C-alpha cells in the first residue's frame, strides 16, 4: 500500500486570503512557503508520495486543498465551498484525483468545505457550519457507501469542525472545548487541547504513529504525549493567520503501489 498526498503551492496573493477580522497582520506568502516546504517534508518523511500543484494567483486560499475535494466511499467528491471566492479552486485538484478515483460533484444550493469532514473509525462527522449546509451534508451522505454520517453543529467563531475537533486514532478525538456538543462523540475517548491554544485541535496523524501539531500549540503537544501519543511540532503560524491548520493543506489517501 502506498500513501499519497496532494498539496498546492502558496501564491503571492496568499496575503489576501480569507481570514478572521481579528486585527492580526495578514499572512506573509514568503513565510508560508517556508512552512509549506516543512509540511511537505514531514509528509514525505512519513512515507507519503506528495504531488504539488502549482499555485493559483487568482485564488489566494488555494493552498487549503482539503476544502475543495473529499475522498468518501470510493469516490472523490468535488465540493462547492461555502465561500464564493473559493469556488473556482477545484479544477486542477479534481484532475489530479481523477487518476485514482471516480470524481463526483455537488450543485447549488449545497455547500460543503472539506474542513468540516472528519472521519474517525467507522464514522464520518460533518460540521454544520458557516461553510457547510444540510444539502451539502446530504450529498456527502449519498456517496458515503453505508458509512454512518453524523452532522455536528459548529458554533462560531471557529471556521470548520476540524478547526475544533480532529481524530488522533480510530477511538480517540482531540477537542478544543466550547464549539461542539461533545456528546456526539459517544464511545470515543476525548482529549482536550490546552487552554489558550486556539487551533490546537487541528493535528495531523501520520503513518508510523507521529502526530503533527502546530508549533504555536506546545502545551497541546504535551497533552498528547502524556496520553501516550507521539506529537511532532511543525511551524504553521502563517497558515493559522489565514484561519487554516495542518489538515487543510493536503488531501491524503492510500493506494496499491
Using Cβ positions, the residue closest to ligand CIR within the complex turns out to be 115
Using the minimum distance from each CB to ligand CIR, give the nearer residue, 149 or 159. 159
**Dihedral pair phi/psi, residue 243, rounded to 5°:** 70, 25
Does 83 bind ligand CIR (CB under 6 A)? Our answer is yes
Map residue 112 onto helix, strand or coil: coil
Q: Which residue in the block uniquely carries the three cell numbers 481523477?
A: 98
Annotated active-site residue 59? The verdict is no
Count of CB atoms situated within 10 Å of the CB of 28 = 16
Q: Tell me: does residue 199 bind ligand CIR (CB under 6 A).
A: no
- Establish if 67 lies at the interface with ligand CIR (CB under 6 A): yes
The residue within the footprint of ligand CIR, chosen from 244, 246, 250, 251 (CB under 6 A), is 244
Q: Does 242 bind ligand CIR (CB under 6 A)?
A: yes
Strand partners for 234: 214
Q: How far apart are CA 199 and CA 242, in angstroms?
A: 12
Q: Phi and psi at residue 40, in whole multiples of 5°?
A: -60, -40
List 36, 59, 62, 160, catalytic entry: 160
Residues in CB range of 227: below 8 A, 6 or more apart: 172, 191
Stretch that binds ligand CIR, among 96-104, 120-128, 159-167, 173-181 (CB under 6 A): 159-167
Q: Considering the rule CB under 6 A, would residue 201 count as an interface residue with ligand CIR? A: no
Nearest to 51 by CA among 102, 99, 96, 100: 96
Q: How far is the CB of 150 from ligand CIR (least distance, A)?
A: 18
Does the active-site annotation cover 36?
no
In this chain, which stretch among 59-67, 103-111, 137-145, 184-192 interacts with ligand CIR, using CB under 6 A? Answer: 59-67
- Which residues make Cβ contacts (< 8 Å) with residue 37, sequence separation at least 6? none
Binding of residue 7 to ligand CIR (CB under 6 A): no
**Nearest CB to ligand CIR, comparing residues 153 and 230:** 153
Name which of 66 and 104 has its Cβ closer to ligand CIR: 66
Give the separation between CA 116 and CA 225, rounded to whole angstroms. 26
Show which residues are catalytic.
160, 248
Amino acid at each position: 500500500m502506498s500513501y499519497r498526498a496532494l498539496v498546492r503551492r502558496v501564491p503571492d496573493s496568499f496575503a489576501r486570503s480569507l481570514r478572521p477580522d481579528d486585527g492580526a497582520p495578514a499572512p506573509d506568502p514568503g513565510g508560508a512557503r517556508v512552512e509549506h516546504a516543512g509540511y511537505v517534508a514531514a509528509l514525505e518523511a512519513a512515507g507519503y508520495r506528495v504531488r504539488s500543484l502549482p499555485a493559483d494567483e487568482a485564488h489566494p486560499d488555494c493552498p487549503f486543498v482539503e476544502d475543495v475535494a473529499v475522498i468518501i466511499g470510493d469516490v472523490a467528491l468535488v465540493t462547492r465551498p461555502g465561500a464564493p471566492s473559493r469556488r473556482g479552486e477545484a479544477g486542477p485538484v479534481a484532475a489530479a484525483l481523477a487518476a485514482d478515483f471516480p470524481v463526483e460533484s455537488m450543485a447549488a444550493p449545497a455547500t460543503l468545505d472539506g474542513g468540516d469532514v472528519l472521519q474517525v473509525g467507522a464514522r464520518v462527522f460533518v460540521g454544520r457550519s458557516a461553510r457547510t449546509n444540510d444539502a451539502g451534508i446530504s450529498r456527502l451522505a449519498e456517496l458515503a457507501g453505508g458509512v454512518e454520517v453524523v452532522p455536528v453543529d459548529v458554533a462560531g467563531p471557529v471556521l470548520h469542525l476540524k478547526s475544533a475537533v480532529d481524530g488522533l486514532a480510530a477511538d480517540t478525538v482531540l477537542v478544543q472545548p466550547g464549539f461542539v456538543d461533545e456528546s456526539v462523540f459517544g464511545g470515543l475517548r476525548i482529549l482536550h487541547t490546552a487552554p489558550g491554544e486556539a487551533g490546537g485541535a487541528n493535528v495531523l496523524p501520520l503513518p508510523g504513529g507521529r502526530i503533527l501539531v502546530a508549533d504555536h500549540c506546545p502545551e497541546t503537544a504535551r497533552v498528547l504525549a502524556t496520553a501516550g501519543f507521539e506529537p511532532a511540532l511543525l511551524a504553521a503560524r502563517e497558515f493559522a493567520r489565514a484561519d487554516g491548520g495542518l489538515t487543510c493543506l493536503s488531501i491524503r489517501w492510500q493506494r496499491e503501489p
